[in-house]
Structure 1
Amino acid sequence: MCIGQVGNLLPHVTLSANLAQHLMPAWGLSAAEGGLMASGYAFGYMLAVPVLTTLTDRIDARIVLLCGSIVSGLATVAFGVLAEGFWSGTIIWSIAGLGFAGAYMPGLKALTDRLPAGDMSRAVTLYTSSFSVGVGLSFLVAQVLADRWGWRTAFYVTGIGPIAMVIACLLIEGRRPAPKAGRLLNFKPVFANREALGYIFGYGAHCFELYGVRTWLVGFWTFVVAHQGAPAWLTPVLMSFCFAVISMPASILGNEAALKFGRHRAITFVMMASACVAIVIGLNASAPAWLLALLLMIYGLTVPADSGALTSGMSTAAVAEHRGATLALHSTVGFGLSALGAWGTGVALDAAGGPQSARGWLLAFIVLAIGILMGPVALLWSRKARLEKQPS
């Protein structure tokens, strides 16, 4: 399942990886337009995931996963063939996100449905942290192919990646969930679960920051190279790849810290540390390249370190018969705020001078810091609600 997910993620940042260097110049897009086009992926995901993930409480999640993977791959290839500007690019990329809505959380549901009884925290964390490997490969493959053979080739090739999950779906055993009555989109039991809601809203803050920085990471390092200079080997390709790949051990270690020191305490510490690093990067946007590279690698550790702990916390807190609906709300909130993070960061860039302005990048990183600081607020709210329910 983890290998299949890496394949499903190969298209994931193909647009973001080529946004600043290829698509924005070719189509004459502003940062806000570029961010909005990139956020189309998260927006399409957000619209589809409530139905597709909740559906896994009624049919085998493997079926949803198979169909979503196929749509994701075909839409990515279609972007390379058909996209000609802002509107066509946004529409097609939104369809790719819609396909991924059937590929990520339904994949997690397919996995958890087949795990033995007991603590699933480490298995869930391994699955969620393999997300980072897929994103790293997406950054690497998309940029290398675009630089050598054009950005359309990058979409053609990365669109093949989901075949890995199609194969995985055909290899795992089928499983039919117990018959369930009632409405499909019934989130009332999830909203009644305050503990799970705290993790869900915290995940939204995490996704706002994560998608915002992934959308503009290549653009930021392009700014650094143009204004401060950098060694020839320290390219946007290498920086984005390293930033993504170190997320996997960071997510695993973050979950281990949560198991040892307490989930709320560990997540809150990581989120506050990440906000501080973001502000330091913004304040030093004109600093030497070596210092910014070091800060970005630290940021690459703090941004994902809460991911596994948040998702495994949500999965553990979810009531078994409503796990699909809980996963659906978790993903809807997460990717809805992902769309806001990509677009909001682009708006901040335009408002303060654009992608070639140090002031623009300062405001962009401040926006990311504000977004992640909403996570500890959500966890505090959840904790207080749980304590109020406990008998005195």
Structure 2
Amino acid sequence: MLAHLEATAPKASWMRRVLARGDLVGSLVQIALVAALAGGAWYIVSSTMANLSSRGITTGFAFLSRPAGFDVAFSLLPFTSASPLWMALLVGITNTLFLAVTGMVLGTLLAFAVVSFRLSKSPLASGLAAGYIGLFRNTPILLHLLFWYFAVFAAMPNIRNGLVLEDAIFLNNRGLFVPWPQLSGWGWLIACVLALLPIAASRWMRRQHPTSAFARIDLSLLLGLVLFVAVVVIAATSWEVPVRAGLGMRGGALVIPELMAVIVAMCTYSSAFIAELLRGAIQGIDRGQTEAGQALGLHAGAISRLIVFPQAIRVVIPPLTNQYVNMIKQTAIVAAIAFPDLMLIMGKTVLTQTGQAIESLMIVTSVYLIISLTAAGLMHLYAAKLKAVGQR
């Protein structure tokens, strides 16, 4: 009877049997999706190439060997209008890296000060820090950048009426002019090496005597800065002092208003976000850890430095990585005040001058991607190192 029912039961259709195999259906869907993406990419590339060919625009990266034909207001590398465009690309990359690293370092240091006020027992200090964080977290960075540039630094008095300190330091609407030491390459190298010695010594001291004052990273950084300045002052053969020359300035080192506005805006803006990340990590530490430090006779500073902060840093690394990557991408906003970063040089000036839109934007995209992934990778390596140290 059972065999007769099985023989007379309607067999499942071919489509139903295929649908029953979910793995096959999934594979077919993925193949169709890849084919659609490939077809769309081919259509975009072919139509773009056809449009460029009809307009007589050549493709490729040979344009990078042409003379730049323009100057930049700020460059860490030697650059003139006769330099090739690939050199302009390097200038844009170094300027972007300089802004990103400066913003990360100064923004993090400022964030530690803000979070210390935020966690203070004083209602006034805590309220001021909360207002500071709320102001910067709920307003766009472009607003702060434009404020610092147009309302503060670009609105400074002219050269004749600007601020002067000891006839050596000048602050006006052209920027900040300061004396610059005439020092050989070896002198700068020795100054940098001596500045790193206190930091290395503090790391060794933390392993030997963690509660010693010499183990404090903040004191080692301060001592390293003092050594750097001392070596530069002693080893300098002469100093190039800025002086007024007609309607302009001559000599010394110049910090342009765009750079000052960018650094102040990025540091203050990012410090608010980093401070909140640090506050959440610190408050997430079990209070029993602090009470254990008090039971051992440690003072509040040692408890924060040796117990609270090391654990909070492990917790804050992942969100802090996201914040640092966002800061790298936020550097592109400085093109709004004509600071010569990667976006302004390659994404606007070179693109407009050569007409190589695809190549220029491809270079900009690739550079930002590489920098962001490198920064994220370094932060992940640091987090893994902290985790390995904590498991010992």
Q: TM-score, normalised by structure 2?
A: 0.31
- Hey, which of these two has a bigger chunk of strand by percent? 2
Judging by fraction of residues, say which structure has more helix: 1
